Structure 1
Amino acid sequence: MIVMQKECLVNHLRYLIRSAMEKDAKQLSEVRVQIDGETENMDREKGEAYIDEHGFKQIIKNDTESPNNLFLVAEVDGKVVGFSRCVGSQLKRSSHKVEFGVCVLKEYWGYGIGRSLLEESLQWADANSIKKVTLNVLETNEKARRLYEKYGFEVEGVLKKDKLHSDGKYYNTILMGRFNVD
């Protein structure tokens, strides 16, 4: 699915939120690896489950053609600095929901880019009769959890000792959902 481009200005940083395009694929491949190495809030370590330029082109093509998927990027001066995806199901029993995921380069934290990606995704979901948006967040990522709660997400469950981090400790994953049921 494609959405209209939106321009944002936060703390003197101007950025665009827009649908991903095939021309973004190379940058997305590089940005994803960099983000995975900058934080343990992601599922992967740097370089794991690598997606190359061709792989991202295919994901963008599929998401653009699917009414249940949305792939957004955040762009600063022509550079992709973050992205989000909503991925739905073709199965009838699950077609009412999507799973949301987001990531932003650490250099660009604090500019509301993650919030803007979330807002655009939720507006898209509401406009397209998506009844439920789900996401996973690490228990230690309190800033993200507060943001999600502010936008109507509630805790649906906890996956205990779900992620092993570099400190040798296991951390819980919080499952959250936002419902838009009539």
Structure 2
Amino acid sequence: MGAMERPAFSSDARKRLYEYVERNGTVKRHKLLDVVSLPSEEFREHLEGLKSDGYLQEEDGTLEIALEFGAVTEYETDDCTFLVRPGRQADFDGLIDTIRDVTAAETYVVAETIAEELLYEDAVTRHNSVKSRMFFVATVDGDVVGWTHLDLPQIEHAQGTAQQTIGVREAYRGNGIGTKLLARGVEWAEANGFRKVYNSVPITNERALEFLTVHGWDTEAIRRDHYEIDGECVDEVMMAYKL
């Protein structure tokens, strides 16, 4: 299945199988058989069909949705070696910790909201008929130290624009990790037919605004008094990058 292809199924049984896995992030094969109430042979037939069509993938008896987001890339600096790769369900705890680390030091309301969505839905990647959500992560020695997130609406009139967030733990800044993550998300959006990505940041987050500006993003709009931070009304700056 292509990353932005809307799910389409040849039977209601395959749709039910996919939707259960999509909602839950990962599901053990034996548990999926229990919840969908299909005869064993029919279950195997539909599951193998979903896997061969690229909708689901399985590893050691655990199923998750399969989306092709690109390869793993290694970068080396004087201070560290890091990987940038597609996020997966196994990154869940590391993503939450990293987002909270970033938002504890700097106000980044959209990223805070994404962390809450992750916790509520208990799934890193989403892909259904309404919306998709994906992550690329940066890791050092297997630990998540940064992320970029793309929120990808599936509604026809909004499909050309993606919302992007990005963050790197304070201890790992200065190694170019944020630049590589930002570029990875933008490159993926462009390759998948998007015409624009945007990032909404409180005007008080000067570091984020400077970072985006240096990398070619423009201020597209300002929403006055959009946030209330520490008892004061704060503007939201909507930054955009046209592809």
Tell me how far apart the structure 1 counterparts of residues 130 and 118 of structure 2 sit (CA, whole Å). 20
Higher helix share: 2
Paired-residue identity, %:
22
Distance 1:41 1:89, change over 3 A: closer
| Greater radius of gyration (CA) | 2
Q: Does 1:59 align with 2:127?
A: no
Partner residue of 2:77 out of 7, 10, 23: 10
Tell me which amino acid in the other structure corresponds to 1:115.
T
Tell me how far apart the structure 2 counterparts of residues 121 and 44 of structure 1 sit (CA, whole Å). 15
Tell me which amino acid in the other structure corresponds to 1:126.
E
Q: Give the superposition deviation at 1:83.
A: 1.1
Moved more, 125-134 or 156-165: 156-165
Tell me which amino acid in the other structure corresponds to 2:204.
T
Tell me how far apart the structure 2 counterparts of residues 118 and 64 of structure 1 sit (CA, whole Å). 24
Q: What secondary structure, in the 3-state scheme, does the structure 2 residue paired with 1:3 have? A: coil
Tell me which amino acid in the other structure corresponds to 2:136.
L
Q: State the partner residue of 1:19.
A: 86
Tell me which amino acid in the other structure corresponds to 2:121.
G
Q: State the partner residue of 1:70.
A: 134
Query: Is contact 1:70–1:86 with CA below 8 Å preserved after alignment?
Result: yes
Tell me which amino acid in the other structure corresponds to 2:162.
V
Query: Is contact 1:69–1:98 with CA below 8 Å preserved after alignment?
Result: no
- TM-score, with length taken from structure 2: 0.62
Q: What secondary structure, in the 3-state scheme, does the structure 2 residue paired with 1:121 have? A: helix
Partner residue of 1:123 out of 178, 187, 191: 187
Partner residue of 2:105 out of 22, 38, 44: 38
Q: Give the superposition deviation at 1:114.
A: 1.7
Q: Deviations over 1:23-47 (max 9, x none)?
A: 11122233333333232234577xx
Q: Give the superposition deviation at 1:113.
A: 1.7
Tell me how far apart the structure 2 counterparts of residues 65 and 35 of structure 1 sit (CA, whole Å). 31
Distance 1:33 1:145, change over 3 A: closer
Query: Is contact 1:139–1:172 with CA below 8 Å preserved after alignment?
Result: yes
- TM-score, with length taken from structure 1: 0.81
- Runs of 5+ consecutive residues of structure 2 not aligned to the other structure: 4-68
Query: How many residues are paired up?
Result: 175
Which fold has the larger relative contact order, with Cα–Cα distance below 8 Å and residues 6 or more apart in sequence? Answer: 1
Tell me how far apart the structure 1 counterparts of residues 240 and 150 of structure 2 sit (CA, whole Å). 13
Q: State the partner residue of 2:201.
A: 137
